[in-house]
């Protein structure tokens, strides 16, 4: 189940996103690997910050060990997707990642929440020469993969692993 809230002034049809979320969950259910999380002293806001290849990389926040245990026990069933402005995503990024900049997506594992910056998604869709729906789908899938504990910022191999998982979604 995905609950979608649009906190921006832009009105868009988001009916395609629940189907994209279900497909992402289906891909992740086929993943057999168990994730290894960093020790508590290394836990911090993880994420993009900075532009690479012409677009902003998505971001994630690691949960507390208690939140992780609940997630492992319950799996990902319900998530909340919130579309926000550049000001709001900057505020969240500053508060939780100590980065005073706009990013495209933030994931909060302990809350099963994904925040997507709609204006940033629009810019990226233009840069990538794709539709806004495709870019929102890409960011949602990326956020869901983060919610399942994957983190592209740990290492180059972790980044490649995430990319491979995300590719499986697009092949489906």
Q: Tell me the whole-structure pTM to 2 decimals.
A: 0.71
Per-residue model confidence (pLDDT) at position 30: 54
User: What integer best gives the mean pLDDT of the chain?
Assistant: 75
Segment 21-50 shows an average pLDDT of 50
Domain of 23, CATH number, reads 3.40.390.30
Q: Tell me the CA distances in angstroms from 155 to 68, 97, 109, 134, 159, one per residue in order.
A: 20, 18, 19, 27, 6
Residue 39 is assigned to a structural domain of this protein: no
The helix (H) or strand (E) run that includes residue 127 is: helix 118-127
Residue 11 is assigned to a structural domain of this protein: yes
Residue 67 is assigned to a structural domain of this protein: yes
Residue 38 is assigned to a structural domain of this protein: no
Q: Which residue has the higher pLDDT, 14 or 24?
A: 14
Residue 75 is assigned to a structural domain of this protein: yes
Residue 122 is assigned to a structural domain of this protein: yes
Segment 39-50 shows an average pLDDT of 38
- pLDDT tens for 148-157 read 887 777 778 8
Alpha-carbon distance 4 to 81, whole Å? Answer: 5
pLDDT band at 145 (very low <50, low <70, confident <90, very high): confident
Per-residue model confidence (pLDDT) at position 86: 98
Residue 36 is assigned to a structural domain of this protein: no
Give residue 95's domain range. Answer: 2-29+44-171
Alpha-carbon distance 93 to 80, whole Å? Answer: 18
Q: Which residue has the higher pLDDT, 30 or 14?
A: 14
Residue 159 is assigned to a structural domain of this protein: yes
**For the chain, how many structural domains are there in total?**
1
Res. 99: pLDDT tops 50: yes
Q: Which residue has the higher pLDDT, 101 or 36?
A: 101
Per-residue model confidence (pLDDT) at position 169: 74
């Amino acid at each position: 189940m995905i609950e979608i809230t649009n906190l921006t002034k832009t009105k868009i049809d988001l009916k395609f996103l629940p189907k994209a979320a279900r497909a992402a969950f289906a891909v992740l259910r086929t993943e057999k690997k168990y994730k290894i999380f960093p020790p508590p002293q290394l836990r911090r806001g993880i994420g993009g910050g900075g532009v690479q290849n012409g677009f902003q990389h998505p971001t994630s926040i690691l949960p507390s060990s208690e939140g992780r245990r609940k997630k492992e026990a319950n799996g990902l069933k319900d998530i909340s997707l919130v579309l926000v402005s550049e000001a709001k995503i900057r505020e969240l990024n500053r508060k939780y990642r100590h980065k005073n900049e706009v990013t495209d997506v933030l994931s909060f594992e302990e809350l099963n929440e994904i925040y997507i910056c709609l204006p940033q998604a629009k810019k990226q869709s233009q840069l990538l020469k794709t539709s806004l729906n495709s870019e929102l789908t890409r960011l949602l899938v990326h956020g869901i993969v983060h919610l399942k504990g994957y983190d592209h910022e740990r290492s180059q191999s972790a980044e490649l692993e995430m990319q491979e998982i995300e590719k499986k979604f697009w092949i489906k």
